[in-house]
């Protein structure tokens, strides 16, 4: 069984995917972390983030591993854990450029499609491009202000600055961020995290994984 959870930036995709995966007893996988990993490694290597060939060469020769646990995803480069470095503002600012590169999208998609079922996959295009035959599809939204207020709990910046950055990233990610026609759209604004997880679980075709 594959469940896809897509949505705009900071709409709650990872937290909801983790809650759903834990309830089902399956892993979840964060596709955004792979785009973030490509961005971080490109920045650390001093590459131009639009230089797809160099970026891909850099990714393919490194011992990268995505640990897709239900409790949270972790990314490793050999023995070095990258996870804590993947949500910095500089990665936030560069990631849309990297995510627009078809070569990088193909690299991410190949890794995702190699995963053994069952799992929950979250990102932007899980239900549209990567797993169009998923058993259940969801798309999370919330207003920019609500999302910025949530992110402000996790980041040192203030709400207006985070909100402006989110709106800009939404704009740059528009192409790959359309909901699948068969996705159930959930406005998470008026709901608690548990409320969103419960809404997803209640809408699954069966509770088996």
Ligand X SMILES: Nc1ncnc2c1ncn2[C@@H]1O[C@H](COP(=O)(O)OP(=O)(O)O)[C@@H](O)[C@H]1O
Residue whose structure tokens are 């759903």: 20
Residue number with CB closer to ligand X (47 or 152): 152
Residue number with CB closer to ligand YYY (26 or 173): 173
**Residue 24 interacts with ligand YYY (CB under 6 A)?**
no
Residue number with CB closer to ligand X (52 or 94): 94
To the question of whether residue 14 is assigned a binding role by annotation, the answer is yes
**Residue 21 interacts with ligand X (CB under 6 A)?**
no
x/- site string to ligand X, residues 169 to 198, per CB under 6 A? -------------------x--xxx--x--
Closest CA to 35 of 89, 103, 108, 88: 108
Residue number with CB closer to ligand X (58 or 72): 72
**Residue 11 interacts with ligand X (CB under 6 A)?**
yes
Neighbour count for residue 112 (Cβ, 10 Å): 19
Q: What is the DSSP string of 10-45?
A: TSSHHHHHHHHHHHHT--EEEHHHHHHHHHHHHHHT
Residue of 2, 3, 4, 10 interacting with ligand X (CB under 6 A): 10
Q: How far apart are CA 123 and CA 97, in angstroms?
A: 16
**Residue 13 interacts with ligand X (CB under 6 A)?**
yes
List own/partner pairs for 55-61 with CB under 8 A and 24 or more apart: 55/98, 55/101, 55/103, 55/104, 56/103, 56/104, 56/107, 59/104, 59/107, 60/107
Residue whose structure tokens are 């079922």: 117
Residue number with CB closer to ligand YYY (25 or 84): 84
Q: How far apart are CA 198 and CA 138, in angstroms?
A: 13
Least separation in angstroms between CB 206 and ligand YYY: 26
Residue of 15, 37, 73, 128 interacting with ligand X (CB under 6 A): 15
Provide the annotated binding site for ATP. 7-15
Q: Applying CB under 6 A, which residues contact ligand YYY?
A: 9-10, 13, 31-33, 35-36, 95-96, 99, 123-125, 169, 173, 176
């Amino acid at each position: 069984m594959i469940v896809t959870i897509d949505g705009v930036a900071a709409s709650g995709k990872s937290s909801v995917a983790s809650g759903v995966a834990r309830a089902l007893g399956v892993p979840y996988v964060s596709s955004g972390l792979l785009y973030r990993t490509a961005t971080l490694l490109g920045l650390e290597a001093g590459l131009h983030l639009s230089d797809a060939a160099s970026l891909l060469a850099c990714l393919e020769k490194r011992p990268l591993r995505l640990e897709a646990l239900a409790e949270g995803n972790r990314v490793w480069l050999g023995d070095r854990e990258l996870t804590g470095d993947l949500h910095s503002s500089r990665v936030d600012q560069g990631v849309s450029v990297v995510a627009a590169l078809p070569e990088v999208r193909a690299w991410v998609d190949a890794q995702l499609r190699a995963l053994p079922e069952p799992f929950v996959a979250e990102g932007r295009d899980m239900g549209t491009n990567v797993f169009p035959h998923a058993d259940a599809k969801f798309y999370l939204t919330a207003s920019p202000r609500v999302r910025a207020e949530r992110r402000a709990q996790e980041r040192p910046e203030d709400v207006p600055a985070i909100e402006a950055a989110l709106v800009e990233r939404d704009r740059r990610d528009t192409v790959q961020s359309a909901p699948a026609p068969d996705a159930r759209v959930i406005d998470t604004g008026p709901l608690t995290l548990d409320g969103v997880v419960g809404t997803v679980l209640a809408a699954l075709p069966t509770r088996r994984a």
